């Protein structure tokens, strides 16, 4: 099965999400946060730098829980506010 490449907008959304997560982690040990979220520290690093621009919903929920961050904040970071078709 061939995966359709992500659009530039989706890649940008992943970078926004990664930046939000990195900021929310704010000096906390990445390994501790990753383990609390149920992911590997390497996966957390890839999300934070935008190398995984579309993490699974479960991963995002786990990160939000581990960081005491509202899921709505992650959704807003992902949402392309210039595209009203994606409005929540």
Domain range summary for the chain, segments of one domain joined by +: 8-79
- b/e code 4-37 from CB counts within 10 Å (16+ = b): eeeeeeeeebbbbbbebbbebbeeeeeeebbeeb
pLDDT in tens, 9-67: 889 999 999 999 999 999 899 999 999 999 999 999 999 999 998 899 999 999 999 99
Handedness of CA 54, 18, 63, 77 (dihedral sign): negative
Predicted pLDDT at 3: 79
pTM greater than 0.75 (yes/no) = yes
Residue (of 3, 2, 6, 1) closest to 53 by Cα position: 6
Q: Which CATH class is domain 8-79?
A: mainly alpha
Confidence check: pLDDT of 82 > 60: no
């Amino acid at each position: 099965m061939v995966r359709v490449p992500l659009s530039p907008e989706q890649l940008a959304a992943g970078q926004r999400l990664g930046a939000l997560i990195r900021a929310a982690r704010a000096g906390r040990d990445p390994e501790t946060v990753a383990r609390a979220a149920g992911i590997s520290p390497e996966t957390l690093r890839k999300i934070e730098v935008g190398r995984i621009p579309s993490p699974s919903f479960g991963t995002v929920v786990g990160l939000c829980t581990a960081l005491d961050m509202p899921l709505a904040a992650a959704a807003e970071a992902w949402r392309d506010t210039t595209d009203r078709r994606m409005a929540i």
